[in-house]
């Protein structure tokens, strides 16, 4: 986390920026420097640092006023600000806290003092962002459950009402048919709820990283899927894949979802082909999963990774609409991303980016 953080130092004395910047760079932080409030505002318009070290007393707009600007802007208000001051003035420090700064250091400060404050507030900032993301995820998750479980439950309720009427009328044959329909609907609901619970647990699991042999992992999962449909003529073309750093359980779940997806949407092909290959990249271990199945219209690509979002009818392809949402969450938990490309009736490609 710390090695990737970028810190903006704002001080009208270049030597102060150089001193603090050297300490931070030696710890692996990215450092930006601004010698005026206006320069700092322009920098934060282009990119958002993870933390700001801000001198209180500067010519022109001082640090207090600049902090007010940062905290009144939606784009920068959550960035932690640590004041740097040459004197411990209680009134000024109190004003800084009222404006939204999270801490202060008195110049001249030691390396240990600066790093302790910076690392503490970066960690707090990171945990707060993760908590906000989890809350947003929970909100979307609850909304999806409320909306998408209501429909099958309503259908089941209607069938139950009809069943009671048939029983009262003595229509045993019709009652048995409806009972069978209720059984099917209930089984689907149970499956959906089980997958939702797995999805929910997956969102809270902290990855345990180890080096994974992706060739072995992909082959294992293909064989597992193939054993469930032994009559199918489906071929795996597997290139030399990079080893990646990831959680074995989560990455297996990710690959299983992509492989299951490929099996499902190539079912109408006499000769189905799934191609898994590596794509060279300096920053990521990139793995592509491509099939020659049904594909999808790119106009609806933004729906692919939402919970319960489906591009095909239940009558065409079974599913819960959770598999790709799970894949997306898992790769994000690893600091990576997933990209999708499809053409109708030609196939789909899902590309995974694992940080090196």
149 and 237 together in one domain: no
This prediction has a pTM of 0.54
46 and 81 together in one domain: yes
Residue 226 lies in a domain: yes
User: Above pLDDT 70, what percent of the chain?
Assistant: 86
Band (pLDDT 50/70/90 cuts) for residue 336 is very high
Residue 107 near residue 86 (C-beta atoms within 8 A): yes
Convert the pLDDT of each residue in 20-39 to its tens digit. 999 999 999 999 999 999 99
Residue 249 lies in a domain: yes
Residue 120 lies in a domain: no
pLDDT number for residue 319? 47
Q: How many distinct structural domains can be found in the chain?
A: 3
Residue 22 lies in a domain: yes
Strands 51-55 and 6-10: parallel
Query: Using CA atoms, how far apart are residues 141 and 200, in angstroms rounded to an integer?
Result: 8
Residue 355 near residue 286 (C-beta atoms within 8 A): no
Band (pLDDT 50/70/90 cuts) for residue 203 is low
CATH number of 294's domain = 3.30.565.10
Convert the pLDDT of each residue in 205-259 to its tens digit. 678 899 999 999 999 999 999 988 889 999 999 999 999 999 998 899 899 989 9
157 and 249 together in one domain: no
Domain that holds residue 34: 2-109
218 and 177 together in one domain: no
41 and 156 together in one domain: no
Sheet arrangement for strand 81-85: 30-34, 6-10, 51-55, 81-85, 103-106
User: Above pLDDT 90, what percent of the chain?
Assistant: 46
């Amino acid at each position: 986390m710390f090695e990737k953080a970028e810190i903006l130092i704002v001080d009208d004395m270049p030597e102060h920026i150089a001193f603090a910047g050297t300490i931070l760079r030696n710890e692996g932080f990215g450092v930006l420097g601004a010698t005026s409030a206006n320069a700092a505002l322009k920098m934060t318009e282009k990119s958002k640092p993870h933390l700001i070290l801000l001198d209180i007393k500067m010519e022109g707009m001082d640090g207090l006023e600049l902090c007010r600007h940062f905290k009144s802007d939606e784009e920068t208000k959550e960035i932690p600000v640590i004041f740097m001051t040459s004197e411990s003035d209680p009134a000024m420090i109190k004003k800084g806290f009222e404006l939204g700064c999270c801490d202060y250091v008195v110049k001249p400060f030691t390396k240990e003092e600066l790093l302790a404050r910076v690392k503490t507030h970066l960690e707090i900032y990171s945990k707060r962002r993760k908590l906000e993301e989890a809350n947003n995820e929970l909100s979307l998750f609850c909304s999806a459950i409320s909306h998408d479980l209501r429909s099958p439950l309503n259908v089941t309720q209607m069938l139950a009402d009809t069943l009671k009427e048939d029983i009262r009328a003595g229509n045993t044959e019709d009652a048995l048919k409806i009972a069978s329909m209720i059984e099917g609907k209930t089984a689907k609901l149970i499956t959906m709820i089980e997958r939702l619970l797995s999805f929910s647990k997956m969102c809270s699991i902290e990855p345990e990283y180890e080096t994974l042999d992706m060739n072995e992992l992909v082959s294992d999962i293909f064989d597992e899927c193939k054993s469930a449909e032994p009559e199918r003529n489906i071929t795996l073309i597997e290139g030399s894949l990079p080893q990646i750093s990831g959680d074995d359980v989560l990455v297996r779940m990710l690959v299983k979802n992509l492989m299951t997806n490929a099996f499902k949407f190539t079912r109408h092909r006499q000769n189905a082909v799934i191609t898994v290959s590596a794509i060279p990249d300096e920053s990521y271990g990139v793995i592509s999963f491509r099939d020659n199945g049904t594909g999808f219209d790119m106009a609806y690509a933004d729906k692919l990774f939402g919970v319960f979002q489906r591009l095909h009818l239940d009558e065409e392809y079974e599913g819960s609409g959770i598999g790709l949402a799970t894949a997306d969450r898992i790769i994000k938990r690893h600091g990576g991303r997933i990209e999708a490309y499809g053409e109708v009736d030609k196939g789909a490609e899902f590309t995974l980016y694992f940080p090196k």
